[in-house]
Structure formats: C-alpha cells, structure tokens
C-alpha cells in the first residue's frame, strides 16, 4: 500500500490553478460518486457534508493515527497532535491549549493591529498592492513568531523554512523534497535550541517558555519535543492563514464583485463575510483517517485498515446543507457550519487566531481604501487601490 497519498492524483488537478478550483469536480463527485474508492491511491473518498462530518467526529471508527501522510505534510520525529486519538490526544492537546491561553484574544488584537498597520504603512505610497507578497504572507508568520516568542524580525527566515516544509511536489520530486525538508528541520533545531535554553532559564510570557515549564506524562518536555511542536505550529498556522487572507480578496473581487463596497458601508458584516470565505474557499481541502473496523455505514464496505479521505471543500458546498452552495453569499445564515477548521476532538486550535487576523487585516484595509479592483495576476493577486 502507498505510504504517501497524493490528493491531486485523486482530483486530477494538474497545476496550482486547478488545485485552487476543484469545485466542479466536487459537484460531480457529490452527484455521481459521493463515496468513491480511488484504485490508484487505494483510498476511500467521501464528499457529502454528513459523511465528512461523521468521519471527522467518530474517532472510534475513523482514527487519526493513519500511518500515512498526505503529500506535503511533515514527518516529525514523534507522532504529531493531528496523528493521535483520544486519550493520548487529549493530553497532547492540553499542552497546546495552555499555550494558546497564555495570551487571550483581547491581548492579541492590539499586536495584530500593529502588525497589519505596519504592513499597510509599508505600501502606503503604492497604487497597487500584492496581496500575498505585501500582506497575506508576512502577517501570519510574524504572528506565529510572536506567539512562539522568537524575534519577529526573523520572520523572513521562518517564511523561507515554512515554504520548503509545506511543498508537496509530485511523486517524481518527492524524495528530493523530503531530503530538503530534513535539512530545514535541522536548521530550525539549530536556531531554536539556544532560544529554548534561554527560555528554560528565564521564562517569558510566550509559547516556548510555557512549553519549557510544562510536564507531559510526568516529565518536562525535551528540546527535541519542543522543537517539533514549534515546527508543527509554524506549519499549521502559516500557509493556511495566508491562503485565507488571499481568498478574502479573491472572493470579494472575483466570486462576488461588490462585496468590498458593501462591507465599507456595513463593517458589522465583516465577521460573517470571513465565515463565508472560509466556507467557500477552505484553505485545507482534505483530511485523512483510517477505518478501525469494517463498516458499511456509507453504503459501501470499508474494511479495517483502509484509508478515508474526507473532502472538506466539497462538504462546504453540499447543497443539502448550504442552499446554492456554489454561490458566494455573505448573507448566508449558516456559513459558520463550514468544516474548514475540522470538527470534533481535533478542531483547529488556531481558528480564533486566524479569524482575528483576517478580521483585523480586512478592517484596516476598509479604513485605508475606499475601493479596490483587480490589477492583475503575477504569481499573486495584484490590487489597484483607491484611498479616501
Ligand atoms: C485559516 C487558517 C487555518 C485553517 C483553515 C486550519 C485548519 C485546520 C484543520 C482542518 C485542523 C484539523 C486537522 C484534523 O482534524 O486532522 C486543524 C488543526 C490544528 N490547527 Fe489549524 N488551521 C488554521 C490556522 C491555524 C493556526 C493559526 C494555528 C496555530 C498558530 C493552528 C493550529 C492547529 C493545531 C495545533 C491543530 C491540531 C489540533 C488537534 O489535533 O487537536 N491552525 N487546523
């Protein structure tokens, strides 16, 4: 059986553009083959909202400890939080939960405002902005550097590392990429080790300091364990949040032109607009689980040990849950039922933080610019901006 699962080989997406637009394929699968076995990858795929929800929430039947990886995800030395099932998962999650409560969201907000104002200040003389390059890429990395307690001036370094770590590549390039990732992880360990030492001696109010003080299974965490957790956070929260910020502007300009102006007149709609972006273009499209005992609950026999891919991006467009699911509509009453942050015991811990980043960035943009329009695409979305 394959150790690595390549979702693009299941969906047939051949390039980035097709990966960003899998929704036609999802609609076809929901209609014609909602529970589908992919012979080449040897995995089950579920596309309907109730089925995806069931796979994510029923950890007795669908384990996160799959023994496999989705291409692009990382093999850490120890099992990561997303590969664990209860009860071990709960103990590991408690480590993260504590760190996330080090600062409350109210405490984060002024710092996130400061970061987004600074980024907007940098482009203030320009008539056009690169969404990824100028805003959506730096913002989450700076926030995570802050959260960990490493100098945020090193964000470029973090960004370079995370770019390599999230590369999925193809079957042909996979081995080369894996070697490169191992190199980067060594580099990160060299960078983080002295910082962790310093935090052990002089703990501050940050995530790394917390981890040096915390006990897990009766023992303090080793440097290696702390480094793995730091890397996992960098990965979990970086590209996902960048993609969300990018998608905000993509949806407002291409999926439903006119939304930006509507929000400028009605800024109280910002939160629900962001929920609809999350539903419509989820940054993570698919999650993986392993069947724990034979089941035919979805109408086909899934055998113990087989893999199930739960397609979040398809569930979010399921017409039986979201009327006219393929329409972007910020007035939709139930956008927040989306599964973009997962569901059940693994529900994303960074969800409130990334929602806040999107809200602050968008609110600051609305204050600065009376209108925005598309300036073009050059490996990025370029916006023409009109100041007040
Ligand atoms: C828009 C941005 C984000 C999206 C779409 C997203 C998505 C997800 C999803 C789908 C899961 C569930 C994985 C599973 O069930 O196997 C997850 C888990 C997780 N996310 Fe996020 N995430 C985002 C931002 C963040 C941020 C900013 C952080 C931290 C700084 C973060 C940290 C985590 C952690 C630690 C978990 C593991 C929780 C567990 O297994 O109990 N995420 N995320």
The number of the ligand 1 atom at minimal distance from the alpha carbon of 56 is 15
pTM above 0.75, yes or no: yes
Q: Is the pLDDT of residue 32 over 90?
A: yes
Query: Which residue's alpha carbon is at the smallest distance from atom 20 of ligand 1?
Result: 348
Quick: pLDDT tens for 208-229. 998 998 887 788 889 988 998 8
Average pLDDT over every residue of 374-381: 89
Number of domains in the chain: 1
The candidate with the shortest Cα–Cα distance to 309, out of 14, 73, 18, is 73
Q: How far is the CA of 174 from the centre of ligand 1 (A)?
A: 24
Parent domain of 109: 4-387
The percent of residues in the chain predicted with pLDDT above 70, rounded, is: 97
Query: Which residue's alpha carbon is at the smallest distance from atom 6 of ligand 1?
Result: 341
Q: Is the pLDDT of residue 268 over 90?
A: yes
Q: Which residues lie with the beta carbon below 6 Å from any ligand 1 atom?
A: 64, 81-82, 93, 96, 144, 233, 236-237, 240-241, 244, 283-284, 287, 340-342, 346, 348-350, 353-354
CATH of the domain at 301: 1.10.630.10
Which residues have a Cβ under 8 Å from the Cβ of 114 and sit 6 or more positions away? none
Average pLDDT over every residue of 281-288: 96
Instruction: Establish how many alpha carbons lie within 13 A of residue 179's alpha carbon, considering only the half-sphere containing its beta carbon.
Output: 3
Look at residue 263 in the predicted model and tell me its pLDDT.
97
Look at residue 128 in the predicted model and tell me its pLDDT.
93
Q: How far is the CA of 346 from the centre of ligand 1 (A)?
A: 8
Q: Is the pLDDT of residue 1 over 70?
A: no
Quick: pLDDT tens for 60-75. 999 999 998 887 676 6
Look at residue 269 in the predicted model and tell me its pLDDT.
98
Strand pairing of 215-216 and 43-46? Answer: unpaired
Quick: pLDDT tens for 162-200. 878 777 667 777 778 888 888 988 999 999 999 999 999
Query: Which residue's alpha carbon is at the smallest distance from atom 36 of ligand 1?
Result: 348
Q: Is the pLDDT of residue 2 over 70?
A: no
Q: Is the pLDDT of residue 102 over 70?
A: no
Look at residue 79 in the predicted model and tell me its pLDDT.
83
- Output the average pLDDT for the chain: 91
């Amino acid at each position: 059986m394959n150790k690595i699962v390549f979702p693009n080989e299941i969906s047939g997406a051949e390039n980035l553009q097709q990966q960003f637009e899998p929704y036609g394929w999802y609609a076809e699968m929901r209609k014609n083959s909602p529970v589908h076995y992919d012979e080449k990858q040897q995995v089950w795929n579920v596309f309907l909202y109730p089925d995806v929800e069931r796979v994510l929430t029923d950890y007795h039947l669908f384990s996160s400890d799959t023994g496999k990886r989705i291409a692009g995800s990382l093999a850490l030395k120890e099992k990561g939080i997303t590969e664990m099932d209860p009860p071990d998962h709960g103990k590991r999650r408690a480590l993260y939960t504590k760190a996330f409560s080090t600062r409350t969201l109210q405490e984060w907000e002024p710092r996130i405002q400061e970061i987004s104002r600074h980024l907007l200040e940098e482009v203030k003389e320009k008539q056009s902005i690169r969404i990824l390059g100028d805003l959506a890429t730096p913002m989450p990395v700076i926030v995570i550097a802050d959260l960990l307690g490493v100098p945020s001036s090193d964000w470029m370094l973090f960004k370079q590392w995370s770019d390599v770590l999230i590369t999925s590549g193809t079957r042909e390039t996979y081995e080369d990429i894996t070697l490169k990732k191992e190199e980067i992880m060594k580099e990160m360990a060299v960078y983080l080790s002295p910082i962790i030492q310093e935090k052990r001696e002089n703990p501050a109010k940050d995530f790394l300091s917390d981890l040096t003080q915390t006990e897990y299974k009766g023992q303090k965490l080793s440097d290696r364990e702390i480094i793995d957790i730091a890397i996992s956070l960098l990965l979990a929260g970086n590209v996902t949040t960048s993609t969300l910020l990018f998608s905000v502007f993509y949806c407002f300009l291409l999926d439903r032109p006119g939304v930006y102006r509507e929000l400028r007149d009605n800024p109280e709609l910002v939160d629900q607009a962001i929920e609809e972006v999350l539903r419509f273009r989820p940054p993570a499209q698919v999650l993986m689980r392993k069947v724990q005992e034979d089941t035919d609950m979805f109408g086909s026999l899934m055998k113990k040990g087989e893999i199930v891919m739960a397609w979040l991006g398809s569930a979010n467009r399921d017409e039986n849950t979201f009327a006219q699911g393929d329409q972007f509509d910020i007035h939709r009453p139930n956008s927040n039922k989306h599964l973009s942050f997962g569901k059940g015991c693994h529900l994303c811990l960074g969800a409130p933080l990334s929602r806040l980043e999107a809200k602050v960035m968008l609110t600051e943009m609305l204050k600065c610019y009376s209108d925005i329009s598309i300036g073009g695409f050059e490996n990025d979305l370029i916006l023409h901006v009109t100041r007040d």
